[in-house]
Each structure stands twice: as structure tokens, then as C-alpha cells.
Amino acid sequence: MDSSASPIEDDIIIQESVEYESEKQDILESVEYTKTSSKFHHLFSSYARKGEPVPLGRNVENLRILQLDVDYEIVEKDTFLKDLSSAAVVRIYGVTECGSSVLVRVHGFRPFFFIKCPNHFDPVDLPVIKESLEKRARKVSSMKNCQGPIIHDLEIFEGRSLLYFVPNDPSISYFKITVALPSYVRQLAQILERGDIDLSPYEGTYYSTFEASIDFVLRFMIETNMYGCSWVELPSKNCQLPERQTSYMQFEVDIHYNDMICHSPHGEWLKAAPIRILSFDIECAGRPGVFPEPEHDQVIQIANYLTEAGKSEPIARTVLTLGSCAPIAGAKVHSFDSEAELLEAWVSFLRVTDPDILTGYNIVNFDLPYLLNRANVLHLSSFPFLGRLIGVMTKMHDTRLSSSAFGTHESKAFTMNGRIIVDMLQILVRDYKLRSYSLNSVSFEFLGEQKEDVHHSIITELFRGNENTRRRLAVYCLKDAYLPQRLMEKLMSLTNYMELARVAGIPLAWLLSRGHMIKVVSLLHRKAFPERLLIPDLKNSSHNSGEETESYEGATVIEPKRGFYKMPIATLDFASLYPSIMMAHNICYSTLVRKDDVKYLKPEDYIKSPSGDCYVRPTVKKGVLSKILEDLLSARKLAKKELEQATDPFLRSVLNGRQLALKISANAVYGFTGASRGKLPCTEISASITAFGRQMIETTKSLVESKFPSSVVIYGDTDSVMVKFREDLTLEESMALGQQAAELISQSFPKPIKLEFEKCYYPYLLIQKKRYAGLLWTKTETYDKMDCKGIETVRRDNCKLVANVVSKVLEKLLVERDVQGAIDFVKKTISDLLQNKVDISLLVVSKELSKAAADYDANQAHVTLYKKLYQRDPGSAPSLGDRIPYVTIKGRKDQPAHERAEDPIYVLEHNLPLDTEYYLKNMLRKPLERIFEPIIGKNVSSLFEGEHTRSITVTTPSTGGIMRFTKVSVTCLGCRTPISETESKQPLCKYCKANEASIYEKILCNVREYERQYAMLWTQCQRCMGSICQDVLCSNSDCPIFYRRRKVQKDLEDASKQLGRFSMPPSW
């Protein structure tokens, strides 16, 4: 076999190799730039971390740090070990108990992987094989210049593959190949998989590789028993201070990896450290009609809100601004003469304060890219060094995350060594389903707070004003930096993600940039390797002969018996259904038996799933997945017990985050096995689990209905069944029967499968599959909440009227138990809608202009409206990325709906008629039909027909349509009769003149009422804005009073004009 390197092989590009070569180049390019200029350091020195130098020696206490992030660097020679070979040095970024930042450089650990030894292998040949591997590797262009050996060690490892249980099969011999650098693992594995190597005397063999795809950082963490965000103890006697500082962190130490003590996150090691969190926001001065672009538009302000985890008072609350700015109470304002100085000062702030976490709202896709690109435009060579390593440039690239849990998201990614970016927008999108994800909307949802929303089109005007207008902009900018930090604290996002990192054993940053799969990969490696089980490298598809993964039948949904149940409905749930199935039936990669091998087993030694796949029983071999799940669920049980006993609020938040993290990780295991493009897909496992689940639901239904006479299972979905025991039972009696049924039926299933009774629905509205609502009761005194599934209350493609009406209807049906009241409310709402009495803000739909208008294939309402707005005024038209609010107005009979989309403000200003019948037919009708059909059956049509629908009010437009050809005449303010030209200056006709006083009084009362409403709304906006002396500039269309304020303003103007037609108050 020709062992020369192939052209394809020479072109192999390994991502991590590229990244670290790039890092080396960045350092070389900035040799003259070792530390940032101290020009602005003195401005922020009071915010610097406090801390004493790290004491080292035999009689000194060990150094303990909370590890926050881990990466590595490539060195041509390791001076700490006095080794001239190329090596990977692991870097751990952490914080001590007193809040000092520490960089630990860990030496001596090298990557490795495995291949199966050739048949008839003789250990005597090990040196020859090692030499053959070394020679072959040297022919690859990216490895030939490696300092020292490429193959550092070749040894025999006795183990087995994780995939499949093979009867009567002893341990198998594998080569454990230890190499110089992480990037060499994958390159050598590809050579061996192709058989492109001559391992004399074992020629012509294609080698299956094992554990070659594991990330080097994860391999290091597993081998050292290090978990994400865990405590690491460094014996002082084994530490060494570096010859020169390589980072902006306070202290640096070097140590050998065997000398570290890594503590598992349990007991006292669940404690946290004083982590520094910086939330920031930027403002840019855009050109008229154009969303700010870094190529052209200045950064004019940067607000910073620096806090320490666990403390309420901020360390720093600062605004860096271009030009003068009036003082802001409680904040420090720093003014600069040029944008370059502003950006350089912010970098100084970043380095002096040395935050561990960077947060904000949409900083990943706007603020950080804008700052980096803007600095590039200004040729600020010292700016793009935002990480903690001296001379290592912050790089930005596009990334795409696709997972079944989170969907597909395109984003930016940054190499910012040592700092973790936690974008609260991304956290909220991943973890919560909301109608709107604007900062204003989520702040109102979770904090009950709002802010003045200054549209980007008027920011430049405020900036070019005076120090007071710039102060107003700075206050707005500060609020945008403050709110993300408050959201992080309120939602305990950082605490929960840190606990998830601890449970999964991966770096915190990976949770924010990867899907669920990496958590299970870590758990699997940690549990399998000590049992000498090796994970094969599969090619992201089925392991069955390289074919595509077969589909399999999913969970069971028992056909619902639709209706409105006024009696209690007991709900029986399987606790942790899929994990408990895997544990009960020992379902795992390591226990799965190939169909051809089943004949070698005794019948009592294996379990056959309903899907036909076989697994050995725990008495033969206990599965790795079962062990992982047992550990996770028992740890969760312990965490919940400790949570009940804990009194310290911070400890309670940590324990609650931990039990949630354990639950998430346990549920992720099943999904990992079924991911067709995952690391280790196995359709046999996924199919077996869902088959057992279907069987259990059917068994539960059968047992309930047979053991409890008159009972009926009215619905079942995946892991739960809803049971109507008898119509005459009280809530207390239904709960008692539910508990009895759960205990009785649990005995029919192997442990740890457990059917639990946790709640009753009373009353219960069952609409269809996946759609139901009811009052949820866990105790008899009072209901816990109204629980809704699959019902239109948060959908963003509907107007707010739909959510409001559906919520109110459900409240009347379930809480008030007033069916007729719900019907009357719906009829009244429909009547108000058709008579144009509904607030326009409830009819607004908003959608994002996510790409250029020309790039949309189909006609969409918000895109059509964008084109209209651009034609009217290009300067004020929405920009790419803006959300475009619209309402649907009346038009021609055959005119498409997208052409009738209109700007709500334009509608108010020009009295354009809304197409209320469109809203009724296309938005309200279907949700209401789904709710009422199980209750009133065919009579549901009466909701939309009858007396309440016959009165329809249509406003008269002031422009457009037929009004272009109409001459508007003056009408009497009393009877609306047109007034002749000779009397046109009079407010009333001759017939109403006698009632002038009462008509004047009525109009005056209208004006006073509109003034009262407007003052009330204006005051509310000023309070939100934080000033009672300035105009309201807010453009937050998500705010419930935004359109109401504009409507009242228009009504006040019209009423004032009517009042103005009276020359003077009439003499009564």
C-alpha cells in the first residue's frame, strides 16, 4: 500500500487547528501591543478588583478557585515541564473565594484516542507500529513541522465497545494512541479509518476509531474529574508563578495536571464565588431613514452596569458619552471629545473592572459586532482585544445552531478568552415562549417594569441637541444596561445555567452555544470510560450499515372524548416516564443485543421490547444509561430534600437550579439516542422506549376502567391519562380515588416506573388533542392556577384581542362557571368590534422585517406595508430588523388582505375604517369555535350571527378612496345637517340654535374628558420615562397605552376644533 500523503489529506483543515494558529498569528501581529494604554485607566481604578498576591510555598494554604471557563493554547515547547515538544497547555479561568481573578495554566496533559488492534496482534510489534504511525503522520503537511514526536505513546487497552452486548465475548485489545496536539487526533483517525497507512506486518486494514471526536477540553475535564463551574484546589507547593504575565487577570499560576484537586459539586462545594457581571448597551447616531451601520455611523454612548453575584448594589453605574452630558443621579458620566477616545476608554473600563460575565440584550448580534466593526473602520488597532489574554485578538464569526429543542438560529460567535457572554435575549428565546421578545415587553412580563423606547430614528436628533438631550439619551441607555442584569437576577439565569454546567460536567459557555446533546456526551463518557467501555465514532447517521436512520413510531395519544366536564377529572402521570422506562428495562447501548446474537442467550437473561429489540437484564450487565439516570434522579431527589430544609435564600436558589438542571439532563438522555444526526444515534433504543410508553398508557387505561367501575379515561397523552371516575364525586373523593388508582396501577409495572397522582382538573374543557384548559387543583382548599395547553393566549401571529377574549372566556367558564356569561361576553365583544368600539391597540399585529423586501417569496402583510411606508417617506420608513406593526383596513371586495395592511398611526390620523369583519372571521372565530363547540355543539354559530352582529359602524376616511372626489361641507354640531355657505361660520343650524348652551356644554365636557384621559396617559408615560419635565418620545408599540395615547390625542384635537367653532361661550 502506498503510504504517501494524498492531496486531499494535505488540504484537511481542522477547525481547532485553524483557531489556534490564528491565535498565534494575532499575538505575533501585536507584539508591540502588550498592554492597553493606561491613558484612561485612572478614570476607572476605583472599580478594580481588590486582592493580595497569591502566596505560594509548602506551608501556605492551597489556592481554591471557582472554575468558570476552560480553553487551551498550543506552545512550541513547554518551559514549565522543560519539554521541547509541541504541546497543548490548558487554561482555566477562575475566581477565588475573596473575588480575585486567577488564570491557571495546566501542563502535561496530552490527547488520545483508540483503535481496535488488528487480528492476531503480537505486543512485540508495538514499537514498529508506533514508528509506522509517526512516519505516516509526518507526511501530512499540518503535522510535519511538529516539535518533538507526534505519537507520544502507544499502549494496549483492554476494553469493549459501548455499542452492543456480545454474548460470551471477552475484553478486546485496543491501541491507545497518545498524540502531541488535539488537532492531530482527528487527522490521524481519518487516515486510519481510510486504511491509508501501512502498519507492517498488518497491511490493508481499515480501522474503526473510538473516542476520536471528543473535544480536547472535555477529555481533559473528564480525566481530571473536573465539572463545569466546579471548585479546583491547587496545592501551593506544586504551583509556580510564570516568568511574565500573559493575561489581564490579577494572578497567574502554572501547575501539572496530576497535581490539581478537582472537587465534585456537592455539599460545601456547591458554594459560589463573587463573580463579576457587566451588563452594557450602546447607542449609535444613525443617518435619517437608515438603521445604524458601523461603516458610517458613530457610537455615541456606552452604558455600563457592573455588579457582583449575590449583591444588590452595583459596583459601577457609568455612561461613556461623546460630547458633554448633564449629570445623572446615581451614575458617573464620562465625556469624550472623539469616538476613538470613547471606544478606547470602554476597553480600559473592561480591563480594569475585569468582569467574568458579559451580558446585555442582543449584544451578540448587535452591540459587540457593531463595536468591533466600528473600531475596524476607525483603525483602532488596540480595541479588538476584549478577552483576558494579552495580545490575543477577539475574533467574530457567523454560527448556526440547530437542535430539536431550540430550533435553528443564526448568530455571531466570539473568541473572547476568559469572558463568558450571556446574551439575555438568547436566554429568553431558548427558555421561554412569549408573544414578544422586545426588552420592553419581557421586562414588563417578568419585572413589571417598562422603559421609554426611543426609536433609532430620533437618537441622532437627541445627540445633536445639548447636554440635557444627551442626558436623556444616557438615561435611556443606562436603563437598557440595567434591565438585562435585573432579568438575569430575577430569572436566576446564571445560577440555573451554572448548576446545569455542574451537572453535565461541561464548561458554562458550551451551554450557551450548543444544544442538549453535548450534556449527554459528557455524562456518557464520564460513566463509560471507568468501566472500560469505549464510545465508537459514528458518522452522524444510523450505525446500521451506514444507512439513513429509520423512523419509528412516537408516543401514544388516546383519542379525546371532547366536552366540558363540570366534575373533577383526575390526572395520573408517569414520573419521569422515558428515564424510568430505560432504567426499568435496562435499555442502553451496552445492553442492546443484535438480532443474530439473541440465540446465544437464555430467555431469562434478556428483555424483549414491544418493538422487537432485545436487551440483557441487569443481572447480566447493567446499562451505562441506566446508571447515569439513576445518579441524576437520586441526586435530584437529594437536592429537593435539601431545598426543603434550606433557609438561606441564595442556597435555595442554587439548590432549585440544581434540581431543575438534573431534571433537564435526565430528560435529554432519551432525545440523545433518537437524534438521527447526533453523536451516537440508535433507533432501536428510541423505538423501544416509545413502544414501552405506548404499551403502558394502554395498560393504564385498561386497568383504570376495569378496576374502577363507571370510570372512563377521557384523554391520554405520552405520559399521562385523564380519568373521570364518576359524575357525582366531590373533588376530595376524586383526589382520593386518583391516589388509590396510581398506587394500584404502579404495582403492575417494574420499578422504578411509578404512576403518580398529582392533580385534578375541575372543571375541565377538553377541546381536542393537545388542546385543553382547566382549573388545576393539588389541594382541596383552593385551585392552584388555570392551566391551558395549545390555546391561543401567547401566539404572536394573532392580535391581542384574541388572547384577551380567550383568557376572559376561559375565566368565565372555569373560574366563574358561567357558560351564559361567557356567551354574553363574546357577543358583547363581537358587537363592540363591529361597532368600532375596540381599542385599536388590541387589533395590532407586528412582524419583523427580517430580510430585504425583495427577498420575500410570498406576499406578506408587513412587507407590503413597508413598501407603502417607504413610498410615503423613505426617511421614516422601518429598517431591516425592525418590527412592523399593522392593522387590516377595509378595501375592495376582491382585494387581498396583505394589500390592506396599514400603519396604525396612519389609520388614526386619517380615520381609515378597520375591517372588523376580517378580524372576526379570520382571527376571533376559529379560537372561539374550538372552545365553545364542546359546550354548545352546533349552536356555536349563534355566537357569530344574530342581533348583536347587525349594527356595524364604519368610520369615514379623511383621505383616499372616494374622498379624493368629495367636497367636505360644514355640518351642524347638533344634528350633523350640512350648513349652507352663508351660515358656514356658525357652529349650529337654525334649528339647533335654541339648544346652543346644552350642545356647547356637551362638547366642552368631551374636551375636558379627553384632556383628563390624555393627561393621565401622558403622566404614566412620563413616570416610565423618569421625568415629568420632558416630552414623551417613546415609540414602544408593544406598550398597551401607546396607541391609546395617540387615539386620545387625535380625539382631543377633533373635539377642540369643534369647540373652537363657537366664537365665545354662549350667554345662557
Which amino acid is present at 281?
D
Q: How far is CA 566 from CA 563, 569, 716, 819, in A?
A: 9, 9, 19, 11
Contact 419, 358 (CB under 8 A): yes
Torsion 66-68-72-75 (CA) sign: negative
Cβ-count burial 979-998 (b if 16+ within 10 Å, e if not): beeeeeebbbbeebeeebee
Integer Cα distance of 157 and 174 in angstroms:
5
DSSP secondary structure, 53-65, as one string: PPP-STTSPPEEE
Fold (CATH) for 538-789: Palm domain of DNA polymerase (3.90.1600)
Integer Cα distance of 905 and 886 in angstroms:
9
Distance of CA 636 to the CA centre of its chain: 23
The pLDDT value recorded for residue 36 is: 43
The pLDDT value recorded for residue 354 is: 96
Strand order of the sheet with strand 63-75? 251-256, 101-107, 87-96, 63-75, 231-234, 261-262
Contact 246, 89 (CB under 8 A): no
Contact 934, 767 (CB under 8 A): yes
Q: What is the pLDDT of residues 58-117, one digit of tens each?
A: 667 889 999 999 999 999 988 888 888 899 999 999 999 999 999 999 999 999 999 998
My answer on whether omega of the bond before 201 falls inside 30° of 0, hence cis, is: yes
Find, among 112, 151, 16, 107, the residue nearest to 529 by Cα: 112
Integer Cα distance of 166 and 154 in angstroms:
27
Q: What is the pLDDT of residues 308-350, one digit of tens each?
A: 998 889 999 999 999 999 999 999 999 999 999 999 999 999 9
Contact 359, 349 (CB under 8 A): no
Domain 276-509 sits in which CATH superfamily? Ribonuclease H-like superfamily/Ribonuclease H (3.30.420.10)
Low-confidence ranges of the chain (pLDDT < 70): 1-38, 52-59, 200-204, 289, 401-409, 452, 455-456, 539-556, 676, 793-797, 875-876, 881, 955-968, 981-984, 1022-1038, 1040, 1064-1068
Torsion 907-909-910-914 (CA) sign: positive
Contact 111, 181 (CB under 8 A): yes
Helices 649-674 and 624-645 pack at an angle, to 10 degrees, of 160
Helices 683-707 and 577-584 pack at an angle, to 10 degrees, of 100
- Tell me the domain boundaries of the chain: 276-509, 538-789, 800-949, 969-1060
Determine how many CB atoms are found less than 10 A away from the CB of residue 507. 28
- Locus of grid cell 372524548: 561
Integer Cα distance of 122 and 129 in angstroms:
11
Strand partners of residue 721: 572, 716
3-state secondary structure 84-122: CCCEEEEEEEEEECCCCEEEEEEECCCCEEEEECCCCCC
Burial (CB count <10 Å: 0-12, 13-18, 19+), residue 938: exposed
Strand partners of residue 851: none
The pLDDT value recorded for residue 1045 is: 78
The pLDDT value recorded for residue 929 is: 92
Integer Cα distance of 475 and 481 in angstroms:
10
Extract the C-alpha cell encoding 836. 368600532
Find, among 923, 907, 913, 912, the residue nearest to 1043 by Cα: 907
Which helix (DSSP H) or strand (DSSP E) does residue 300 occupy?
strand 298-308
The pLDDT value recorded for residue 12 is: 31
SS3 181: coil
DSSP secondary structure, 411-431, as one string: EEEEE-TT-EEEEHHHHHHHH
Question: CA-based angle 22:143:161, to the nearest 5?
Answer: 105
Q: How far is CA 707 from CA 379, 585, 698, 722, 741, in A?
A: 79, 26, 14, 15, 8
Contact 348, 302 (CB under 8 A): no
Extract the C-alpha cell encoding 61. 494554604
- Locus of grid cell 488520545: 112
Contact 954, 829 (CB under 8 A): no
The pLDDT value recorded for residue 310 is: 82
Find the length of the chain.
Answer: 1068
Contact 256, 106 (CB under 8 A): yes
Integer Cα distance of 402 and 413 in angstroms:
15
- Strand duo 87-96 + 63-75: pairing: antiparallel
Integer Cα distance of 1013 and 1019 in angstroms:
10
3-state secondary structure 660-689: HHHHHHHHHHHHHHHCCCCCCCCHHHHHHH
* Ramachandran category for residue 960: left, alpha or beta (phi over 0 → left; psi -120 to 50 → alpha): left
Find, among 813, 794, 814, the residue nearest to 804 by Cα: 794
Torsion 254-260-265-268 (CA) sign: negative
Q: How far is CA 997 from CA 973, 1000, 1003, 1051, 1063, in A?
A: 12, 5, 10, 22, 13
The pLDDT value recorded for residue 529 is: 92
Q: Which CATH architecture has domain 800-949?
A: Orthogonal Bundle (1.10)
The pLDDT value recorded for residue 1025 is: 61
Which amino acid is present at 739?
Q
The pLDDT value recorded for residue 1019 is: 77
